[in-house]
Every structure is written in C-alpha cells, then in structure tokens.
C-alpha cells in the first residue's frame, strides 16, 4: 500500500513537473508558442461541431451578408471557410494571419473544396494593412481575434478596417468578452486568476471588455451594432461573447 502511494505521488509529481517545464518553455520561446497554438487550434477547430458551425455559418457569415472582396482578420486554420467556399457572392478572399505556423493548416484545410474565387493569405497583422488599398474591401470578417491583440492596438485594427472598407462596407465580428464582475463574480474572478496561464497557452489571449473597442468607434463608423451572445463550447469559464457588425 505504502509503495503504491509512493508510485502514485512520484508519477503525479513527474507529470506536474513536465507540465511546468512545458509552460515555462511556451513562455520563453515564441516560435514554440506559435507552433503549439497552431496545432492546438487545428485540433479544437472542429468542422463537425454543429453548434459552433451553425453560429459561424448561419448567424454570422450568411451568404447574403458576406459579399464582394472579403478580408478576414486572424484567419487561423481557415475554420470559417466552410461558410465561405460555396458563397457565389464572393469575388476574392484575403486572409491576414501573422502566425505563419497556421498557414499550412489553412491551405491543407481549404484544398478540400473547389473554390471559385481567388484566395490569398498574408502574414501581415491587421494593425497595419499597408498592403491593402483604402476603400477596396466589401466585407471584413473577424472571429475570436481581439483578445490576442494587446492594448491599445485593437483600436488601431478598427481604424485600419475603416480605412480599407468601401463606403457602405461591413465588418462582421464575433468576439469573446470578459464575464461581468457584477452579475458573474465567480467566473470573472476565475478568469482573472487563470489569465497569466491563459495568455501563455492561448498565444496572448486575455479576458477583456471587448465592447469598449466597438463603442469607441461609434463616431467613425456610420453604424455600430452588437449584441451579447453565448459561445457554444463546453468550457464553463469561456461562455460570454459579443456578435455584431460595423458599417462604414
């Protein structure tokens, strides 16, 4: 019995030590962190997850709303493509994905479809879209990205998005937000507690009051619309989100 407990504790200590070394390594090595996150996203971005794909395709990226020249900010592994590949309203697609480790997953994923519009993936960040001319984009798409962009740069993304959009063009977004500290103090406290670890595992993602960014551009865009929504994922502290649209 004593020997069993020793083996159990020894094994547990070994596993905890391995996890601690892994997290330490993730923290100091940016390339490793990006590779890890790309692999992780490729595993969790599941095309067969009906609730999440229903949200993406039927609530956010409906064919009637996504048209013309498309720009996707933070394209990731291409998980929004099931909603786009057969949209005959699309003329071209440009994805921005600064984590180059995502690119091979993206291209492997989208090659399953015969896509009739041009697809381009760039490693430029959305904070400076110098390679995109002003007033040329009809629809911008962004899902679960702003948490990864450190303050105050999300503001810059919304300004750049406004510059590249055509007048009347739309910017469709879905972003997770920090829980409300008044109505959900437990989840809020938990998010604040785990944030230092979340930032490392989630490649810079923080729990933030994301709606502030959209409120701050109310005088710039002709229309700013959003509503609170749930993230249909089985992670109890990762539930609050906001979905909406900015119109230039």
Ligand X SMILES: C[S@@+](CC[C@H](N)C(=O)[O-])C[C@H]1O[C@@H](n2cnc3c(N)ncnc32)[C@H](O)[C@@H]1O
Residue 244 as a binder of ligand X (CB under 6 A): the answer is no
Nearer to ligand X, 15 or 51 (CB): 51
Strand stretches in the chain, DSSP E: 68-73, 90-96, 118-122, 137-143, 165-176, 223-230, 240-247
Of 180, 177, 122, 161, nearest to 246 by C-alpha is 161
139 part of the interface to ligand X, by CB under 6 A: no
- CB nearer to ligand X: pick between 138 and 160: 160
In this structure, the number of other CB atoms found within 10 A of the CB of residue 80 comes to 26
Q: Which of 127, 136, 211, 216 binds ligand X (CB under 6 A)?
A: 127
CB of 39 to ligand X, least distance (A): 12
Task: Indicate which single residue of 76, 95, 169, 244 sits in contact with ligand X (rule: CB under 6 A).
Answer: 76
Instruction: Answer yes or no: are the C-beta atoms of 221 and 246 closer than 8 Å.
Output: yes
Structure tokens at 49: 């997850």
Q: 173, 228 in Cβ contact below 8 A?
A: no
Q: Which is nearer to ligand X, 42 or 170 (CB)?
A: 42
Residue 148 or 155 with smaller CB distance to ligand X:
148
Name residue, tokens 């595993």.
Answer: 43
How many residues of this chain interact with ligand X, rule: CB under 6 A? 19
> Footprint of ligand X on this chain (CB under 6 A)?
41, 45, 73-74, 76, 79, 96-99, 102, 125-127, 143-145, 148-149
């Amino acid at each position: 019995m004593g020997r069993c407990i020793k083996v159990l504790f020894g094994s547990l200590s070994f596993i905890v030590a391995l996890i601690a070394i892994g997290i330490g390594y993730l923290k100091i090595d940016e390339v490793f962190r990006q590779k890890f996150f790309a692999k992780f996203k490729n595993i969790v971005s599941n095309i067969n997850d009906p609730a999440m794909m229903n949200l993406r395709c039927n609530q956010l990226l409906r064919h009637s709303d996504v048209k013309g020249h498309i720009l996707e900010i933070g394209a990731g592994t291409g998980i929004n493509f099931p909603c786009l590949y057969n949209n005959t309203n699309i003329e071209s697609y440009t994805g921005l994905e600064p984590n180059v480790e995502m690119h091979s997953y993206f291209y492997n994923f989208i090659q399953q479809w015969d896509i009739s519009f041009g697809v381009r993936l760039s490693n430029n960040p959305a904070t400076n879209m110098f390679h995109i001319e002003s007033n040329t984009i009809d629809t911008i798409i962004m899902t679960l990205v702003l948490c990864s962009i450190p303050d105050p740069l999300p503001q810059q993304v919304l300004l750049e998005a406004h510059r590249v959009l055509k007048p009347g063009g739309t910017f469709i977004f879905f972003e997770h937000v920090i829980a409300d500290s008044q109505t959900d103090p437990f989840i809020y406290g938990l998010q604040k507690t785990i944030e230092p670890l979340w930032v490392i595992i989630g490649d810079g993602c923080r729990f933030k009051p994301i709606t502030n960014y959209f409120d701050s551009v109310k005088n710039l865009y002709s229309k700013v619309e959003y509503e609170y929504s749930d993230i249909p994922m089985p992670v109890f502290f990762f539930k609050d989100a906001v979905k909406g649209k900015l119109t230039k």
